[in-house]
Structure 1
Amino acid sequence: MGTQLTERVLDVSLDDNATNTDTLDSTRLYGVSCNSNHENGVPKDSTLKNRAPRKTIARKIIARKTKARNKLARNMRLREIRAQFRCRRALIDRCMPEAVVFRRTSSGNEAILEENPMADCPEDTVQDGGSVSGVMMVVATFEAPGVRRKVLKSTGVAINDYYIMTVAHAIWDSNFGLASSITVIRDIRADPSQENMRCVDAGAVHYQWARNPGDTSESTRKNDFAILHVSEPFHRGVQPMAYQEPPTHPTDVSIYGFPRGGPRLRYSTSHQVKYAPNVSGLLDHKGDTEYGSSGGPVVDISSGTAFGLHRGFAKKTQTTPLINKAVLLQVHGNDPHRFMQFIDDFTEENSTEDSSVIKGDEFCVGIWDAAFYR
């Protein structure tokens, strides 16, 4: 009698290569099993009420197989990204590179701690010349064969007329690799028609992140850092933000970002934040954030200077509380000025005979030309 029931389920499959596992899973979807509780291959009345239509079961089988295929495609893509770096001669003068620099071919995890809630930035601060008019949304589009297109919205901060800094995971995904296109957008109150939108044509990601973006160890996360170059200068109303090394004394900070990809810049605060270089390579802070806040500057309230970029949070454990984390600037090799030198050299803009900038092997990452630099 159990065989009779299995035959009923098999004709639901739309795949000629259906396995025994599919049959068993489909049988479970009926809410029945092949045992003595069935008569003539038909479930008793109590089970029959829960019996799903055959079309519904078929859709579930197809959805499960599609999900498995997509996961396989993502894993293959990640292996290709990692293999691309393993097979390249990354060493430059017997030293590890500092960055992977890319340019257009000539032919992108947050926590709400409920201690320091977010609020909209005052409108005058985001308008032309405002103190945070240079904090903008970074929109990265990821595409890979056989995988659904992905759009990731995060935050970045302008540091001069052509450059904006953000976290590497905003544009270099652990599954998709480097984004196929990246744009930068101002707060909707300053630019409602998005006339000031800029396209990224080059950039640099820290080598430690690019070689293994899926690594969750702190040795990689502390280098979750990127610099982007836009194809034309930012609007004259955009006020670049100064940056500095992290202070070692307790400091009150503001954390800026576009949570949930919303069009308005928001901020939260955290008090008595202190960088402990002997304890961690990241900065702990208690400002509320949500996804989309990554890459937003951590700013010293007293000076208005950025010294970190928010990147995510550390989960609560038995010994540590839930806490937000930021990448630090001008330590651990996260040097904006040096990365700008790499990009200028690779794009042949403001190129100088600076012996401290050394280019290694050139290669391609998706649609981008790329090279190692140190």
Structure 2
Amino acid sequence: MTTWLDVPTEHPFGVHHLPYGVFSIGEGSPRVGVRVGDQVLDAGAVAAIGRDAGQVGEGPDLASVWQTPSLNAFLALGRPAWTTAREWLTEILTDEVHRAGVEPHLHSLDEVTLHLPIEVADYVDFYASEDHASNVGQIFRPDSPALPPNWKHLPIGYHGRSGTIVVSGTDVVRPTGQRKAPADAAPSFGPSIRLDIEAELGYVVGGATTLGSRVSVEEAEDHLFGVVLLNDWSARDIQAWEYVPLGPFLGKSFATSISAWVTPLDALREARVPVPGQTDPPVLPYLAGEATGFDIHLEVELNGTVVSRPEYSRMYWAPAQMLAHLTVNGASLRSGDLFASGTISGPARDTRGSLLELTWNGTEPLTLADGSSRGFLEDGDTVTITAWAPGPDGTRVGLGEVAGTIQPAR
């Protein structure tokens, strides 16, 4: 796709991508931006020009919703508006006639501060990788079947804490809590000593539903706006002591990091792939239907050393199935909801998406480029997760990065 911008065709943030985020400049108010190349388009300012000139037509007032400090108002407009907006943005960035009006509202990435792109309404984290679930089962339940009996019948998840979701680059303070190893006579209290990561994909939801209604697999894409990279930081020692019988709580809720840019699902059309066959056992009817995954390639760095390259295409449950299951009991959706895939892992050691698996619960430490070793995270460690997916005509869609550095417990 050609553009009047000085952006190479193969740029992972070219006009075939156009992810959304929230940015500010200096003391200015945060507002919605669209990344193209290494610049950020002030979407609301340009939409206001188009609105005042009658170029946007009879559709939604994009200028108003894009001049707010989150994507939530835009998400609430629903898929028809998302499609209209993408088509309009593509037009003004590819047709030279718009250049004079658009160019003054492009800002270098170096000039801007990026913020959390959404005001997170509700947050749910799933457990959709069979490889990850099997590895965890072998580690924690070596004398029992690796997968729990319900795993292939429904997408398992836990309800997280939306208020502790932070944007990439935010430091993560080591959590403190109760922990008890199997050999300990009693629990102790203190900073986590088994702090971990989970490389995941997050799904941003738009279009509210009413309490008591359900979203089917076929209807899910009306609500799935886009994806972010996500790191579900996990205190394994706190988690292991608390999670029976109600599941993760304080071992997860201290921080979850997401990337600053939200890649629209429309930018991932060439990356769609079938999910693995769900025939043994077959899924119940409400989970059946046209459901796909994505050919997304992740890379996990610990202090600059690549320690894993997970493949999202191996995930067992599709995002449409996860959303259908999330709402099957009548739970309502709100614009700004976020749900995550769970740790993305593969069968080989270098495709595992958590240190728990990579080091087999700390018994097989990793060796980093500087010669140091890690079973779990130490204070000062920086974890960076990046990803890309195939785009049109041999291009790549870059999903940016989600990064965080561990700070000592307080």
Shorter-chain TM-score above 0.5: no
| TM-score, structure 1 normalization | 0.25
User: What TM-score results when the alignment is normalised by the length of structure 2?
Assistant: 0.23
The structure with the larger Rg is 1
